[in-house]
Amino acid sequence: MTWHVSQELSEHQSGGLTVKMTLNNLEEVERWVLGFGEHATVIGPRELDERIEKTAKKIQQKYLTTES
């Protein structure tokens, strides 16, 4: 599947996939990565990793409860 014209895909024997692409901004790819939930790992750039971490913390806070 082609998500972006600059993407390069590297499949791993373990079943994983590395996606590399050149983008003008991180907004769209941030939503795309979040769509994979716990199954995605950002390896760069650091700014994208930080954005994903910030969003994940907001989601966690939204669903945390003090009730058992």
Q: Note the pLDDT tens digit of each residue in 9-22.
A: 999 999 999 999 99
Segment 17-31 shows an average pLDDT of 91
CA angle 46, 36, 16 (to 5 degrees): 80
| Distance in angstroms (rounded) separating the CA atoms of residues 24 and 39 | 25
pTM metric for this prediction: 0.78
Please determine, for residue 26, whether its predicted confidence score (pLDDT) is greater than 70: yes
Confidence bin at 68 (pLDDT 50/70/90): low
52-64 burial code (b ≥16 CB/10 A, e <16): beeeeeeeeeeee
